[in-house]
Chain A
Amino acid sequence: MSAADGFEGYDELVAELRANPPVAPESLRQRVLEGAPGAGRRASGKRRLVLVVVPVAAALAVGAALVHGVVSSGSHGAAVVGEALGPATTVAAQGSAKSVHRTPARPRPNTNLSDAGVKAYLPTHLNAVTIPKDRIVHADASLQVQVSSHSALSKATNEATQIVSSLGGYAQSVQYQSSRSGDGNAFLALRVPVGKAETAIGRLGALGRLVSQQVSTKDLQQQLTHRTNVIGSLRRAIAVYEQALKNGSLSAAERVELQIKLANARHSVTEQRKARSATVASGATADISLTLTTNKNGIVGPTHHGSGRFDRLLGSAAGFLALEGIVVLYALVVLSPILVLGGLGWWLVRERRRREETRLLASA
């Protein structure tokens, strides 16, 4: 109060004020004590709501994720295996690993094997992989091969590229991963002439222990025949149009119409030729995806073949939780401008009330 004691009589004034304070009447005291609400009204409704709603929402989110994990892990495993084993055009060689294991005296992989040698080396049922040579066919193959060590991995990677080169193909991409402590992997995207695809698959599979193999073919012969027929028809139509245009009795309108048809036919022929060339090119080569790994289970990449159901459950649940998080984040991003505007509005109202309060107390 030092700021105020600058006038005469300050002390007397304060003393008088303090000496005669208003005293609360006894009736007020009784009223306050008797009129106090019961114990049931003490708890804060908002706080209780927050304390209940937040854990319940979190529990629901986690529960939904677990339910999703349980449901999807039960069916997902079978689906993945089904994919690995493949449909009718796919040959799976999961069993081949067993047969290799049963042969301790397995010969060392030889990358210079002939076609006959490869077929003799592979397990019997893999010899059934045949790619028709008398038709235009596009072939896709996927192989997983396990090698014994990091040095073998490096060697097998080099040998794989040499194999495809020797067969007239090439390596589109090579991805090599190796660490001192963990497993080493190499992912190769290879392309070889279709006629040499079987040989390539056999020799690549012989680089180590063949863990899995998928081969799919797509017949392009019918497509090629259809395009050839279309081109023939268009050529005949072009000849007819050209002959007709030589006729001098055509009216101007008819001539223009024929010229348009001729131009369209020529354009279509060009397009069909390009498409046929693409079909032929596609049928000329086979795409081979080769995975080399030092992992003893032969598991690489995001597949779930070897993981247990619990792992899949956790993975599915985590994925679902992440999805929930994304949804919440998205909602926050969408709502944030509204929240900012709401906050601004709340602040403005508060400031207005504060000013009104000051004016009210200063003028009442």
Chain B
Amino acid sequence: MRAVNALPAALRPPGRVGAQSFADVVAEHLDAVYRYLVYLTGDRAAAEDLAAETFERAFRSWRRFDPRRGAPRTWLCRIAHSTAVDWFRAEARRQRREETYTRDEALLEESVFAEGLSPELDRALRRLTPAEREVVALRVLLELDGPSAARVLGISTTACSTRLSRALKRLEEEMSHVRS
């Protein structure tokens, strides 16, 4: 928050008197976007890069953002989703090019999602697909409501609920499997 208070004037778009400035948005939602991207990619380094890119994109289109059409968090998550999908595409192309993709086992031993998570939960999360982790991140971690999460994912609210239900059940199953 200290850094936010020392923001350059350029980060405060003119003509939006009474509205939230971009600096306020960064301060309020950076953690949420980062969490979302960590869960979606399962890679902290990538999540950092993608979060930076997300906010750069968001700043470019900040003037077009209309708060009446959705909350800033939903808007940012939508941009983050798009940015992450591009990253996944690039990763897939890279994997195809290199043909083999072996993850560093040492890295897998490290906690990816959060320091305080139990090893079982961390491993179970790694076993989920990005789509499953994404919906868990949006609904559980970021606590977005159903319609907002559905808008970020580009699916219906019902499909979003179904995906969340399946993701959590699978998470529970994976945890049981890891424990046993």
Chain A residues engaging chain B, CB cutoff 8 angstroms: 1, 3-4, 6-7, 9-10, 13-14, 16-33, 35-39, 41-44, 47, 354, 356-358, 360-364
Interface range for B: 35 or more
| A354 and B154 contact, CB distance less than 8 A | yes
**Residues on the B chain within 8 Å of A364, using CB:** 88, 91-92, 129-130
22 example contacts (A-B, Cβ-Cβ < 8 A) are as follows A1-B140, A4-B164, A4-B168, A10-B168, A20-B114, A20-B116, A24-B30, A29-B3, A33-B3, A33-B11, A33-B23, A39-B10, A42-B13, A42-B63, A43-B63, A44-B61, A47-B64, A356-B89, A358-B131, A360-B92, A361-B85, A361-B134
Closest to A363 in B: B129
A32 and B172 in contact (CB under 8 A), knowing A18-B140, A44-B61, A364-B130?
A: no
B164 in complex: contacting residue of A1, A16, A35, CB < 8 Å: A1
Best-surrounded residue of B38, B167, B168 (most CB of chain A within 10 A):
B168
**Residues on the B chain within 8 Å of A357, using CB:** 85, 88
A22 and B114 in contact (CB under 8 A), knowing A13-B168, A42-B62?
A: yes
| B52 and A35 contact, CB distance less than 8 A | yes
Closest 9 CB pairs of A and B: A20-B116, A24-B34, A361-B131, A20-B114, A4-B168, A4-B165, A3-B165, A39-B10, A3-B161
Closest to B112 in A: A22
Best-surrounded residue of A21, A23, A364 (most CB of chain B within 10 A):
A21
The distance in angstroms between the C-alpha atoms of A10 and B171, with both chains bound, is 10
A17 and B140 in contact (CB under 8 A), knowing A4-B164, A29-B30?
A: yes
**Residues on the B chain within 8 Å of A3, using CB:** 161-162, 164-165
B117 in complex: contacting residue of A9, A16, A24, A42, CB < 8 Å: A16
**Residues on the A chain within 8 Å of B26, using CB:** 29, 32-33
Contacts A24-B34, A364-B91 known; 15 new A-B pairs at CB < 8 A: A1-B140, A3-B161, A4-B165, A6-B165, A7-B169, A10-B172, A16-B121, A23-B34, A25-B48, A30-B3, A32-B30, A36-B10, A36-B59, A357-B88, A360-B92
| B78 contacts chain A at the CB level, 8 A cutoff | no
| B63 and A36 contact, CB distance less than 8 A | no
| A17 and B51 contact, CB distance less than 8 A | no
| B7 contacts chain A at the CB level, 8 A cutoff | yes
Q: Smallest Cβ distance from B44 to chain A, in angstroms? A: 7
| B92 and A44 contact, CB distance less than 8 A | no
Closest to A27 in B: B48
B172 in complex: contacting residue of A13, A22, A27, A47, CB < 8 Å: A13
**Residues on the B chain within 8 Å of A7, using CB:** 168-169, 172
